[in-house]
Chains A and B, each alone.
Chain A
Amino acid sequence: KQEVTQIPAALSVPEGENLVLNCSFTDSAIYNLQWFRQDPGKGLTSLLLIQSSQREQTSGRLNASLDKSSGRSTLYIAASQPGDSATYLCAVSNPTGGGNKLTFGTGTQLKVEL
């Protein structure tokens, strides 16, 4: 059974700092990995999707990497801003039982302070 772990559970940084969020998964037979952002009481917004054949994806100040063989992904946020404060979730897609089923981590709660 796939298990996804995110470390740290919470992180507080000053504005402008570069930071890295970590995600690890136990079953490397994945199709893709997604990073999501969730604001309090809201739904999820997809940030980046990395296919299993890819090593990284970039969108603006965000860069996500994937090392499938070691079961790890990182989300790098450059020049953090207070508006980046949210919970960041990673999720992996496994070919079990059909369908695009995602297994989620418990998230990293990020606070960027002025």
Chain B
Amino acid sequence: DGGITQSPKYLFRKEGQNVTLSCEQNLNHDAMYWYRQDPGQGLRLIYYSQIVNDFQKGDIAEGYSVSREKKESFPLTVTSAQKNPTAFYLCASSIGGRGWGETQYFGPGTRLLVL
């Protein structure tokens, strides 16, 4: 089955700890995205990557970091600098490479909670 997987489903972070959220896709998509969803707010873009070894900041990148060493993987690290990390994190991908107008496909999400 082709799709996007995210792990873990739930993640608990202690004060001062960095945690990493996994996102893997087997759709052969070039572009990948990380969004944060808070209650009563729309999804907000954290980082996106249009191609391997390249990524750009989204609207709320502070306190987060990413890497894109492989086409199928786009892990997100929530650093200790992110003071309000409790949220639902969604990863998405799209075909990419053709500019605009592409459907984005989403993973099942990871819920991050602070202990």
A95 at the interface (CB under 8 A from B): yes
Q: Contact check: which of B40, B42, B90, B101 meets A43 at CB < 8 Å? A: B90
A43 vs B50: C-alpha distance when bound (angstroms): 21
Q: How many residues belonging to A are interface residues under a CB distance threshold of 8 Å?
A: 28
Q: What is the minimal beta-carbon distance from B30 to any residue of chain A, in angstroms?
A: 11
Contact present for B108 and A89 (CB under 8 Å): no
Which A residues between 74 and 114 are near B, CB-CB below 8 angstroms?
Answer: 89, 91, 93, 95, 97-107
Contact A100 B31 (CB under 8 A): yes
Residues of A contacting B58 in the complex (Cβ-Cβ under 8 angstroms): 101
- Please tell me if A28 contacts chain B, counting CB pairs below 8 Å: no
Q: Is A12 an interface residue (CB 8 A)?
A: no
Using CB atoms and an 8 Å cutoff, list the residues of chain B in contact with chain A. Answer: 4, 6, 31, 35, 40-45, 48, 50, 56, 58, 88, 90, 92, 94, 96, 99-109, 111
